[in-house]
Structure 1
Amino acid sequence: MTVWRGQLPLILASQSRSRQMLLANAAIDFEAVPAEIDERAVQQESGLTSPSDIAALLAREKARIVSIDKPGQFVVGADQTLSLGTKLFSKPAGRVQAAEQLSALAGRTHQLHSAVAVAREGKILFEAVSVAEMTMRQLIQSQIEVYLDEAGETVTSSVGAYQLERLGVHLFERIEGDHFTILGLPLLPLFEFLRSERLLAI
């Protein structure tokens, strides 16, 4: 079953399992082709400091780079940044850094900035950024250690050391924002664009 009406499959420029799951669950015919870019280098060279602007830049670059090698195909790029006040977070390098991130986020509200872009043959056709407000529970160190024990290596695969669709749900007190933004691929604005291009049957 697919609602995709493009002559060629959609390309997702990401190796993220959650992003791939979102498209698959929405019955979109797609191929995953991860973008080979140095995200931190692109960010530093841009001089951007706004979390939303950084996420948008990286989403555009991922889509653009992959689309150059996929003539005629629509390519979706996505990126997500986490900010706590003026501080930006990256994926933790290991357990120690994951514990540090969780300690910093505990009892406070942070923002997830999720960007999506669509490119074709090197040209950006569409982009959007959505923001979710995430309030983490107060956590004592022993709770953080239990979480890290149970979550294992997955804590290094997501900024903030959590995956809300898995064990990370236990860390939160309140969430304001749509499900797709939190998982790193704002589907609603993306699908609105794809429908405008007559690429979806629904």
Structure 2
Amino acid sequence: MPVLWTHAEKLLLASTSATRLALLVSAGLPVETQNSDIDERAVEEAAAHEALDPPALAGRLAAEKALAVSRRHPERVVLGADQVLECEGAVFHKPADRDAARAHLAALSGRRHALHSAGAIAVGGQVIERFAASAHLTMRPLTEQGIDLYLALAGPDVLRSVGVYQLEGFGIHLFETVEGDHSTILGLPLLPLLASLRRLGSLAL
């Protein structure tokens, strides 16, 4: 049987994100997952002192995730990924509850925002590849009633992503325009990732 992945051990994803796992599986990659357990807010506070812009912040978070898991499994190829939502200079975080989700949608309503997605590959406790991509989305102007209806339709999934929407589901109703690769919007740019893995000799294709 033809083999795509060249390593004996599966790719180790430094995340328990079901969306990122599904993207990797859809690309035919053998994957295992492990939570990085990093303190993302602490990383963001340190990055603020360095005045990192949102794309660089996404890269820093991805690298810290990859490094945390790579130190535990230095023999494995470890992938870390993260995404930062930026709207008119402000960085958004995952909402803690439904009220925060409602506030996110109200703030994004009628505005264009960016999703900066980044990845890092680590081996032996060292980052050896980095990649990134951005997408831009313009949300329709939403009424309070529209926001409430969306939250009711989407259910608890609204707390799973920084933008409060799942574009592959009910979230598609919120937008006027979407500019960017679908995998970038979902938080893991597949084309740059696959290019990085080919450079490392991890893919036979």
Aligned equivalent of 1:145:
148
Match of 1:6 in 2: 7
Q: After TM superposition, which residue ranges in structure 1, 4 or more long, deviate above 4 angstroms?
A: none
CA deviation digits over 1:63-93, x for unaligned, max 9? 0110011121110000000000111100011
Percent of matched pairs sharing the same residue:
46
Find the counterpart in structure 2 of residue 84 from structure 1: 87
The equivalent of 2:21 in structure 1 is 20
Shift of 1:2: 5.7
Tell me how far apart the structure 1 counterparts of residues 147 and 19 of structure 2 sit (CA, whole Å): 23
Task: Name the count of aligned residue pairs.
Answer: 202
The aligned runs of 1:41-190 (5 Å cut-off) are 41-46=42-47, 47=49, 48-190=51-193
Q: Is the 8 A contact 2:131 2:196 kept in 1?
A: no
Query: Any idea what the Cα deviations from partners look like across 1:161-193, whole Å, max 9, x if unmatched?
Result: 111112111111101110111000011111111
The amino acid that maps onto 1:126 is: E
Specify every segment of 5 or more residues in structure 1 that has no aligned partner in the other structure, as ranges: none
AA in 2 matched with 1:158: S
Pairwise CA distance, 1:45: 1.8
Root-mean-square deviation over aligned CA pairs = 1.2
Question: Does 2:35 align with 1:37?
Answer: no
* Alignment check: 8 A CA contact 1:2 1:28 kept: no
The TM-score normalised by the length of structure 2 is: 0.95
